[in-house]
Structure 1
Amino acid sequence: MMAAPTPKTRRANAPGPGHAPVEDAGRERLVLTFDAFHDYHRELWMRYAHTQVGGRPAAETVVDTACARLKRDWKHALAQESVPRYAWSLLKEEIHRWLAERGLQPLLAGTAAFHAAITKLLRHGTRDEFTVLEGELGLYGAIADLPERQYDVIVLRFVLGEDEENVAEYLGIELATVRSQVRHARRRLARGLDMAIEPTETEG
């Protein structure tokens, strides 16, 4: 027959004073930090997803799924070198999954934001290539062929109109990296379209 636990044993097995409140406070902090991150990033994520999947309902589905994954992994995310970069990778994975399930490619060329941005990207609004649909689609194809980091920077910077500081913050990269990616992307696009480009202020 087992002996009844002594008061000393009971004290050893019981949670220490304040144990549950400490755990509750830790969980609450995680929730608060996630909510703040989510509120700050969601609008931009929605705008970016919209350029890729072509409609707000689809964008909401993709972003909601990415946010749910991020919330489940939030503690792990906080341990990463860059939380925004880790979160962005989850968003991109969900976008790629959504498109792949439907056999689609990113729908950037069909969005109003793309058509509003094409002349600004290479700063040649008077060139014939930018006044006809063929020119727009040619630029879209060239953008689509950019390396992934350059593609994201170009879409955020020129199509969605974010400034360089915001692009750096949303992607979790250095401001100098954003400027470098824009520089390389513009030169690559110009080569692909056989065009000269005008230098930007940061390149001049």
Structure 2
Amino acid sequence: MSTPLDRPEYAASGPVPGGRPGRKLGPIADSVGSSHRAWLEPTRTSYLASGLTLADLSTRVPLAKSKLSELMRGIGLYPRWELIAGIAVILDMPVWPLQRLWRQAALDAQKTREWIERSSGKHPVTTSALIPPLEHGAFRETVEDAYRLYAQAFLPDGPRDTSVADTFDILWLSWNGALASPDMRSYAWNILRATVMAKTPHLDGRPELGTAAFDTVVLRALTYDADRMTQVTESLQLFKALTRLPDLQLDVMVLRRLYGFTPEETSALLGLPKPMVQSSERYAERFLESVFTPAPETEGPTE
């Protein structure tokens, strides 16, 4: 399963943790869901970048080292907010986005609202947003509408909006890593893609485009020959073929052909050079053309 920070789909980098004494922190358990990973991965990244050991952390929060290890791997009971808030303070993490992601994951874990409020202890769940870094706010204002369009190609309105909101919360939590990366735009896009894909239904390992994307495909017909594309869209072959594209080519085609972004706009959103965007589009078009090239006609039997 792809995740926003640990296993990006293509070209991104975050902070590289240094070495530390003691046993190496194990990976996140495979059973951990996407909403839990949304806050756990940035927390792990902040911990690994802090230079602290689990023993160091254990002296500052009321939890044994073994239990902290389980928490950092997503093993055991879902953690109380009071504990996560204490860790956030030690790791100098922004509390508001962490709170929102923690709360959403708690609801997904079938925790009641009463449990959520009770588990907050002296650190109640905040309902009013704090101000993110100015650069984060400016970046969000620039790309949010485009991010929502991309998510809309795969998800209905509710999950679409949640995915976009989660993307910016995760980006806020990992802001230092974003600034230290070779290209913040690519770093942010990888978070968006992984967050959207975590909520997108998959068939045979490939994401399924949603109803909104299908409506757009029919309307735009990907600019191919109108008569042939009418037959293709009616049979849904093109719709299915798009999902067979490699990740980058699929993203480029969603932005370029479904929503009409220019190569320059697509390059800026993905944080990739314009020639790479154009090359990806050409390869995708060749694949689609190979899929829909009609077989040569053969003469029927003669009497």
Partner of 1:50: 152
Mark the runs of 5 or more structure 1 residues left unpaired by the alignment.
Answer: 1-29, 197-204
| Structure 1 counterpart of 2:230 | 130
Q: List, as ranges, runs of 4+ consecutive aligned residues in structure 1 with deviation greater than 6 Å.
A: none
Superposition deviation, residue 91 in structure 1:
0.7
TM-score w.r.t. structure 1 length? 0.72
Q: Which residue of 2 aligns with 1:17?
A: none
The reply to whether residue 154 of structure 1 matches residue 253 of structure 2 is: yes
Higher helix share: 1
Q: Residues 89, 169 of structure 1: CA spacing in aligned structure 2 closer, same or farther, 3 A cutoff?
A: same
Residue in 2 that maps onto 1:35: 137
Displacement of 1:93: 1.1
Preserved contact between residue 108 and residue 114 of structure 1 (Cα < 8 Å): no
Query: Counterpart amino acid of 2:278?
Result: R
Distance 1:57 1:109 in 2: 14
Rounded Cα–Cα distance in structure 2 between residues aligned with 1:94 and 1:33: 21
CA displacement at 1:158 relative to structure 2: 0.5
Higher normalized contact order (CA 8 Å, seq sep 6+, divided by chain length): 2
- Give percent identity, aligned residues only: 27
Seen in structure 2, the aligned counterparts of structure 1 residues 181 and 39 have a Cα distance that, compared at 3 Å, is same
Q: Deviations over 1:25-51 (max 9, x none)?
A: xxxxx7111001111010000011011
Q: Quick check: 1:109–1:115 contact (8 Å CA) kept in 2?
A: no
Question: CA 1:195 to 1:154, structure 2 compared with 1: closer, same or farther past 3 Å?
Answer: farther
Structure 2 residues without counterparts, runs of 5 or longer: 1-131, 296-303
Q: Which residue of 2 aligns with 1:92?
A: 193
If you compute each CA radius of gyration, which structure gives the higher value, 1 or 2? 1
Q: Using a 3 Å threshold, how does the CA distance of structure 1 residues 132 and 144 change in structure 2: closer, same or farther? A: closer
Question: 1:193 deviation in Å?
Answer: 1.8
Q: Which amino acid aligns with 1:44?
A: A
Asked if the contact 2:143/2:269 (under 8 Å) is kept, the reply is yes
Q: Which amino acid aligns with 1:80?
A: S
- The equivalent residue for 2:220 is 117
AA at the equivalent of 1:149:
L
Work out the CA distance in 1 between the residues paired with 2:160 and 2:232: 28
Amino acid at match of 2:165: D
Instruction: Tell me the TM-score normalised to structure 2 length.
Output: 0.49
- 1:66 correspondence with 2:174: no
RMSD over aligned CA atoms reads 2.4
**Following TM superposition, by how much is the alpha carbon of 1:58 offset from its aligned partner in structure 2, in angstroms?**
1.7
Residues of 2 paired with 1:195 and 1:176: CA distance? 30
Count of aligned positions: 161
